[in-house]
Amino acid sequence: MSASTARIRAVIRKELTEFRRNRLIVTTSAVLPVVFLISPTVSILDIKTQALSTVLDKRVETSLFLPLLVPVFVPAIMAAYSVVGERDQGTLEPVLTTPVGRAELVIGKAAAIFMPAVALGYLIFGVFFAITQLAANPAVAAAVRNAPQLPAALVFIPLLAAWGVWVGLAISTRVTDVRAAQQMSILGSLPPLALSALMSFQLLTPTFWLAAALAGGLLVIDGAACLVVARLFDRERLVTGSRPTRSIPAPVTARAGARAPEDIRSPVVSSQAQQKGD
């Protein structure tokens, strides 16, 4: 069955409405960005004009790295809840009995998390950039404006957000406990972040080509992750929590005493006959 955009839109709309009305998600999505915005902004505004260029550079690196945590952690936490949370509430099974395809559900759920996460990521960088340009002393403002990490961050925000979404969704389809899913997805979102950190802190020389290669690699991984998560989204596993058993091809050889469908329509199946048959 080909994916229906109408169904995907319906999933996105439902997910966004639920997020908007979920106080916990709204609070988490608001508090984390505020923390990761205030800390680097204060750090930048605190730099004195006469600060050494190495101090200035270090502060700018840290300040531009911290906001990158938001587009990774926020979608990872939300995605981790997305499937296991529905299963917890008993809402998943009715959805799985409809004709919605697994790809439609997965894409819809992923998009509903990805879009606000990326918007939030850009918003944080936008606000940070605006404040530093308006309020920091001119030398510091220029250092932020010319930092190579700034354009890199703009590219990495959607890629890291996508990684967080897929890791969270993949874990959410396999784990049966919401809290375990969220903790595991935070751990799962760390590897690309570690690479970004190495570059931001110049432990890995952040050349254009290295950044481009990393971005390309993440893009490929994100694309493949979509397919992997869609495969993990197995109805039987989601409903029963156990791995699907391999089917024995029908028709099955009737054992001695087992009744054909026509026979079984007689009012009472003798329990003796059944016991023999079983």
Partner 1 sequence: MSTAGGGSRAAIEVSHLTKVFGARTAVSDVSFSVASGEVFGFLGPNGAGKTTTVRILGALISPTAGSAAVAGIPVGPDGAAEIRQRIAVMPESPGLYQRLTVTENLEYFASLYGLPRRQARIAEALAAVGLADRAQDLTRSLSKGLRQRAALARALLNDPAVMFLDEPTSGLDPVAAHEVHGLIAGLRDRGVTVFLTTHRLDEAERLCDRVAIMSTSLRTMGRPDELRQSLFARSLDVTVAAALADPGRVFGGLTGVRGWKASDPPGSGPAGYVLTVSDPAQAAPAVTRALVAAEADVLSIAPSRHTLEDVYLELIDDTEGSKR
Residue 59 or 102: the one with the smaller Cβ distance to partner 1 is 102
Q: What is the DSSP letter of 203?
A: S
Spatial distance between the Cα atoms of 79 and 172, rounded to a whole number of angstroms: 7
Site string for partner 1, 239-278 (x = CB under 8 A): xx-x-xxxxx-xxx-xx--xxxxx-xxxxxx-x--xx-xx
Contact flag: residue 3 with partner 1 (CB under 8 A): no
To partner 1, the closest distance from the beta carbon of 48 in angstroms equals 49
Contact flag: residue 1 with partner 1 (CB under 8 A): yes
Contact flag: residue 17 with partner 1 (CB under 8 A): yes
Contact flag: residue 194 with partner 1 (CB under 8 A): no
Q: Using CB under 8 A, count the residues that bind partner 1.
A: 57
Nearest of 147, 151, 157, 92 to residue 121 by alpha carbon: 157
Residue range at the interface with partner 1 (CB under 8 A); choices 153-161, 203-211, 212-220, 233-241 = 233-241
Nearest of 249, 230, 193, 260 to residue 103 by alpha carbon: 230
To partner 1, the closest distance from the beta carbon of 1 in angstroms equals 5
Number of other residues whose CB lies within 10 A of the CB of residue 140: 23
Spatial distance between the Cα atoms of 274 and 161, rounded to a whole number of angstroms: 57
Cis status, amide bond into 251, omega within 30 of 0: yes
Contact flag: residue 99 with partner 1 (CB under 8 A): yes
Contact flag: residue 2 with partner 1 (CB under 8 A): no
Can you list the pairs that 13-16 forms with residues at least 24 positions away whose Cβ atoms lie under 8 Å? 15/82, 15/108, 15/109, 15/112, 15/113, 16/112, 16/116
Residues engaged in binding partner 1 (CB under 8 A):
1, 4, 6-7, 9-11, 13-14, 17-18, 21-22, 89-101, 235-236, 239-240, 242, 244-248, 250-252, 254-255, 258-262, 264-269, 271, 274-275, 277-278
